[in-house]
Amino acid sequence: MKLSGAVLLLAPLAFSQPKPPAFDMAAVERGRVQFKSSCGFCHADDATGNRAPDLIRSALLSHDVNGDMLAPVIKNGRPEKDMPAFSTLSDKTIADMVAFLHKQAYDAMHSAGVPNDYPLAKLLTGNAADGKAYFNGAGGCSGCHSPIGDLAGVAKRYGPVALQQRFLYPSRGVKITATVTLRDGRKMEGVVVHGDEFEIAITGADGWYHSWKRSEVNVVIHDPMAAHQALMEKYTDKDMHDLFAYLETLQ
């Protein structure tokens, strides 16, 4: 049936819902051992930092895709800042360590049930006043949120780790919709079940399903989370920690 075929095609879409990443656990475990022996002395065995910075909260890690940001730093180091170069490690070993770091970050973000793993003091390194300025200014957050409206008491509703996760990856039940304008000018609106450069398919409130060739209609996609995704690429490490410190004041 058409619908199930279309649903299977959702995965590669830019506007499909985010899924939890699939980790290659064998690589993660190899990476854990390797990280401990090569990096643990400075970054701590669990990568939360001691002599050298916490890598789990690093903006570099959150922006990394399959090592594109991390691998060059590991290979070349930052000699002027006491991060040694590991130029002799194989690409495979580095890939394993990258897998380990992503798994550590994912676990930290999703371990709201074990707050002792990730004390608030460690997360609260930002400046709340700067965070507030960013919220109302450059961050554009106030365009959609209000500290006395939807975000009132948000720090009471979520523990610190959950709050950080909510503001970085808020996707709870948010639906991507589209308005499709037909050639005769009729407009139809619904939840997107499939969309690519050739086709768009939506379901309406009453459950009807319809698809069109992209070339035959005019499509406007409404993705409520697009702003958050764009923000993820814009945040600096400081913005992120300042915002978080500010959100924590919304008790």
Considering only the stretches 106-114, 163-171, 181-189, 210-218, report the one whose residues sit in contact with ligand HEC under the rule CB under 6 A: 163-171
Tell whether residue 10 is a contact of ligand HEC (CB under 6 A). Answer: no
State the minimum distance, in angstroms, from the CB of residue 12 to ligand HEC.
23
State the minimum distance, in angstroms, from the CB of residue 194 to ligand HEC.
22
Residues 200-229 that bind ligand HEC (CB under 6 A): 224, 227-228
Count of other CB atoms within 10 angstroms of residue 211? 17
- Classify residue 209 by its DSSP letter: E
Tell whether residue 82 is a contact of ligand HEC (CB under 6 A). Answer: yes
Considering only the stretches 102-110, 132-140, 192-200, 208-216, report the one whose residues sit in contact with ligand HEC under the rule CB under 6 A: 132-140
Q: In what order do the strands lie in the sheet with 187-195?
A: 209-213, 199-203, 187-195, 177-181, 218-222
Considering only the stretches 21-29, 111-119, 122-130, 136-144, report the one whose residues sit in contact with ligand HEC under the rule CB under 6 A: 136-144
State the minimum distance, in angstroms, from the CB of residue 173 to ligand HEC.
6
State the minimum distance, in angstroms, from the CB of residue 115 to ligand HEC.
18
- Candidates 28, 39, 44, 178; binder of ligand HEC (CB under 6 A) is 39
Long-range contacts of 162-169 (CB under 8 A, 24+ apart): 162/112, 163/244, 163/247, 163/248, 164/109, 164/123, 164/244, 165/109, 165/110, 165/112, 167/243, 167/244, 167/247, 168/62, 168/109, 168/228, 168/232, 168/240, 169/18, 169/109, 169/228
Task: Using the minimum distance from each CB to ligand HEC, give the nearer residue, 28 or 217.
Answer: 28
Tokens of 16: 């499909």
